[in-house]
Structure 1
Amino acid sequence: MSLFHTISSKLVSSSLLVPNYKSVITRFGTPLLIINDNNDGFLNFLGKLYTKEHEWIVVKDNSGTVGITEYAQKALGDVVYVEVRDVGTIVEKSGLCGAIESVKAANDIYAPVSGEIIDVNKRLEKEPGLINESPEDEGWLCKIELSKTSELEDLLDEKAYKAHCEKSQ
């Protein structure tokens, strides 16, 4: 069975053929996932996916860069300390992968997917405020090599995440 067929129908509403790629998976007309034509099996998402707990992930080459959302950093206030579990640590979806302390509160960070932490943002040790300045870019927390790609199905796209945040207020 090909990688294309292992992606649940919940995630896929249609696919389009694009030069140099096997297919592009879309959700409600928005490109979401590219499956490379070179049959290396790598997944490349074209956008962020979100958890209801306000973490985000961008997937490229079977690994995902993880951080907290703009919504979360605003709720936290000025971040003063960030701790992420060590490279090589195996994390489970919704399991603890770190913590953030701010002037208002301390919060745990949960893994949006299962896998192995393969990189951490070392800049955050000396510059925890990067999370406030750029939570969905320079303030990323860690990179996780995905062990269960099917878990991506449970995450929210941008539109669904925004709707979730509006309901939470």
Structure 2
Amino acid sequence: MSSIPANLRYAASHEWILDNGDGTVTIGITDHAQEALGDVVFVDLPEIGTQLAKGDEFGVIESVKAASDLYAPIDGEIVEVNEALEDAPETVNESPYEDGWIMKVRLDDKNVLDELLDADAYQAVADADD
């Protein structure tokens, strides 16, 4: 079974969001998503400075089985990307909630975090996918 940390928020599109407490969030894909993808071989990282709107496609993650679009779960500006994924995309499989993060975003509105799923609600989404 996938791990779903309680301290994170989630999007139904299988991204996790960590509130960094400074107006930024860290975003990655969930353990459930990386398990479904299989061995990740490439992550198309977005450009720093890009302004995202919720639902915007911000990149692609490719595995040996499939390629999946990545969608912004919030509105904001990309302030950092995890460049380590360029050389080691498998980090998304090995450590989806820690070393395998994809980007950091400065939020346009912190209140949007309240609209995201908590761990229990995301568990229901993940269970429905299985």
TM-score by length of 2: 0.91
Q: Where do 1:10-159 residues align within 5 Å?
A: 47-60=7-20, 61-159=22-120
Q: CA deviation at 1:153?
A: 2.3
Q: CA deviation at 1:163?
A: 1.6
Deviation string 1:38-64 (CA, Å, 9 cap, x unpaired) is: xxxxxxxx8200001100000121100
The alignment's C-alpha RMSD in Å is 1.1
Greater strand content: 1
Q: CA deviation at 1:122?
A: 0.6
Give me the whole-angstrom Cα distance separating, in 1, the residues matched to 2:127 and 2:37: 17
Larger Rg: 1
TM-score by length of 1: 0.71
Q: Secondary structure of the residue that 2:120 maps to in structure 1?
A: helix
Give the AA of the match of 2:27. V
Higher relative contact order (CA 8 A, sep 6+): 2
Identity of aligned residues (%): 46
**Structure 2 regions of 5+ residues with no counterpart?**
1-5
Q: CA deviation at 1:149?
A: 2.1
Matched, 1:165 2:126: yes
Give me the whole-angstrom Cα distance separating, in 1, the residues matched to 2:49 and 2:7: 26
Aligned residues: 124
Give me the whole-angstrom Cα distance separating, in 2, the residues matched to 1:125 and 1:166: 31
